[in-house]
Chain A
Amino acid sequence: MNNSSKFVLGTALLLLATGSLAQAQSSDDESLRMTALEALITAPPDRALPIVDKVLAGNHSAELKERALFILSQMETPESQARLLAYANDSDGELQVEAIRMIGIGGDKDAMASLGEIYRNGDADVREAVLEAYLIANDATAVFEIAANTEDEDEFSEAVQMLGAMGAHDELRELRGRAGLSESLIEAYAISGDAESLRELAMDSSNPEMQERAIESLGIVGGDDVNKTLMEIYASAANEDIKEAAVEGLFIAGHDEGVLELYRNADDPAEKRELLEYLVLMDSEVVWDLIDSAFEESE
């Protein structure tokens, strides 16, 4: 530790350890405490831990205590992890939520394993925090278990969305086999970029509503292959709903060249009008030439 760090640390220890500071109320003092707490990161854990304990047990603001939890998360010692787990289990409100987040940041396997019980016993905020901790720790298996074992539709949806954000293709595909198809799953496939699953669903007409959702959602994944698929779906659409879903997908994918091609190939004025509206929405450069030529043709 260099001299400046020692000075900052010494100041921090002094500020946080003195009772007079703990009783101070002004925002300046609060700011000073924050700075002091921040400086604790330069301290060895055996020096910093008692001070963090003091902050957490003292009559300090919730914000200061939450910052203290972040310092704990960076200590990465068994003692600091035990403190975090205790706060995740026994505190409530924002402090509990923050402690759960810090367990995710710490990634300690034992602490992570404890989150399952906290999730089961927690309210909506706690459950959301646990899911976020799993995301931070990249623990897709834990999220999958929640999704696979719940009967609650909202809970399933939230877990599936988290799996989508984690890009957990395998888990999401397995959920389809277990729980059946749902809008949440389709959305998660899109978010995770699983074009393969969406393409398969887009070709399956057994559930028209889900088929349309899958076609639209392909646009979220995007890319040349998806664009090609959407063009093919549009060209071979069995009904107007599928057509509309395909052009929605192209819109979301931003494939204005494809929509332009559809426009040029369309014979029906209503279809042309709708495709032109999409091109306008897509802010496509070509649209002005089309509008110009449309007026020329009418003159």
Chain B
Amino acid sequence: MNDRIDDLIAEHQADVHEAPPAVVQRWHDALDDAAAREQIAARPARSDFHPRSFVMGLAIAATLALGIAIGVFIGDDGTDTPVSVMTASTSAGDMPDALSRGLQVHFRDSREQIMSLPDSEDRTMLVLRIIEQNRMFENVANSSDAPKLARVLRAFEPILLQLAADDIAPADAEALQAQLAFELNVMLTKLNVGSSDDSHTT
């Protein structure tokens, strides 16, 4: 099963619709660059070099926006047929096993990481890594024709981005962590129940 997860991920990573690795890398680098610019800006000017605020803003905006630049190539969602039980549509029952199991790991790991986020600069990088992972599963969900799941994953990102901000108030961070933990738990439960039902019926 792990091989299937690996295959699915590898297949996805080779997908032409995925964000170019260079863009993802730049997403990480932009934060470092911005930090470097801030450090330099705090020093006395040594020359006629004047970093432009627009560029600085752009780099940060791009960092943040790339974080929410998800589902760029998502196809038509279509009309979703209502289901009779809650676990029927986004459950493990209508997606590949590898995706279902991978998602369970992703939801569980994300929840644990979010609930124990460090109160430091490391927090930003950790949250950005969660976003990156989340985006990968969102793209896999799209390619696996699971648009409802993709929407849920996409909905996590604005919250994660707020959590990644280094100027967020502790109380706000706590509220966002609680919200994410709840929603991740719900999705995890939904997947688990779907898997359990599948195993009983097969």
Contacts of B123 in A (CB 8 A): none
Q: How large is the interface on B (under 10, 10 to 19, 20 to 34, 35 or more residues)?
A: 35 or more
Quick check: is A220 within 8 A (CB to CB) of the other chain? Answer: yes
Q: Residue-by-residue, is B49-85 near A (CB-CB < 8 Å gives 1, otherwise 0)?
A: 1011011001101100110111111100101101111
Q: Known: A254-B26, A277-B49, A281-B40. Contact between A248 and B182, CB under 8 A?
A: no
Supply 17 further A-B pairs (C-beta < 8 A) apart from A165-B65, A167-B73, A282-B36: A41-B86, A42-B193, A63-B179, A67-B182, A76-B82, A76-B86, A107-B147, A107-B148, A187-B58, A193-B20, A222-B23, A223-B23, A251-B55, A252-B58, A254-B33, A283-B32, A283-B36
What is the CB-to-nearest-CB distance from A55 to chain B, in angstroms, rounded to a whole number? 13
Q: Which of A75-128 contact B (CB under 8 A)?
A: 75-78, 101, 104-109
Q: Residue-by-residue, is B37-54 near A (CB-CB < 8 Å gives 1, otherwise 0)?
A: 100100000111101101
- Flag if A76 contacts B54 (CB, 8 Å): no
Q: Which of A5-40 contact B (CB under 8 A)?
A: 5, 34, 38-39
Q: Using a Cβ cutoff of 8 Å, how many contacts connect chains A and B?
A: 165
Contacts of B200 in A (CB 8 A): 2
- Give the segment of A43-51, A148-156, A228-236 that binds chain B: A43-51
- Flag if B182 contacts A38 (CB, 8 Å): yes
Quick check: is B189 within 8 A (CB to CB) of the other chain? Answer: yes
Contacts of B19 in A (CB 8 A): 193
Q: Residue-by-residue, is B150-171 near A (CB-CB < 8 Å gives 1, otherwise 0)?
A: 0110110010000000000000
Quick check: is B197 within 8 A (CB to CB) of the other chain? Answer: yes
9 CB-based A-B contacts, threshold 8 Å = A38-B182, A44-B86, A76-B82, A106-B151, A164-B69, A165-B70, A191-B66, A217-B58, A282-B33
Q: Known: A136-B155, A283-B36. Contact between A216 and B69, CB under 8 A?
A: no
Quick check: is B124 within 8 A (CB to CB) of the other chain? Answer: no
- Flag if B89 contacts A76 (CB, 8 Å): yes
A222 to B33: give the CA distance in the assembly, Å. Answer: 14
Contacts of A108 in B (CB 8 A): 80
Contacts of A254 in B (CB 8 A): 26, 29, 33
A107 to B77: give the CA distance in the assembly, Å. Answer: 8
Contacts of A223 in B (CB 8 A): 20, 22-23
Contacts of A273 in B (CB 8 A): 47
- Flag if B154 contacts A136 (CB, 8 Å): yes
Q: Secondary structure of the B side of the interface? A: helix
Quick check: is A190 within 8 A (CB to CB) of the other chain? Answer: yes
- Flag if A104 contacts B155 (CB, 8 Å): yes
Name A253's closest neighbour in chain B (CB-CB).
Answer: B26
- Flag if B158 contacts A132 (CB, 8 Å): yes
A223 to B84: give the CA distance in the assembly, Å. Answer: 48
- Flag if B80 contacts A76 (CB, 8 Å): yes
Quick check: is B125 within 8 A (CB to CB) of the other chain? Answer: no
- Flag if B71 contacts A166 (CB, 8 Å): yes
Name A31's closest neighbour in chain B (CB-CB).
Answer: B178
Quick check: is B185 within 8 A (CB to CB) of the other chain? Answer: yes
Interface residues in chain B, defined as those with a beta carbon under 8 Å from any beta carbon in chain A: 19-20, 22-23, 26, 29-30, 32-33, 36-37, 40, 46-49, 51-52, 54-55, 58-59, 61-62, 65-66, 68-74, 77, 79-80, 82-87, 89-90, 147-148, 151-152, 154-155, 158, 175, 178-179, 182-183, 185-186, 189-190, 193, 196-197, 200
Interface residues in chain A, defined as those with a beta carbon under 8 Å from any beta carbon in chain B: 1-2, 5, 34, 38-39, 41-45, 48, 63, 66-67, 70-71, 74-78, 101, 104-109, 132, 135-138, 161, 164-167, 183, 187, 190-193, 213, 216-217, 219-223, 248, 251-254, 270, 273-274, 277, 281-283
Q: Secondary structure of the A side of the interface? A: helix
Contacts of B148 in A (CB 8 A): 76, 107
What is the CB-to-nearest-CB distance from A123 to chain B, in angstroms, rounded to a whole number? 19
- Flag if A220 contacts B26 (CB, 8 Å): yes
Name A37's closest neighbour in chain B (CB-CB).
Answer: B182
- Flag if A138 contacts B77 (CB, 8 Å): yes
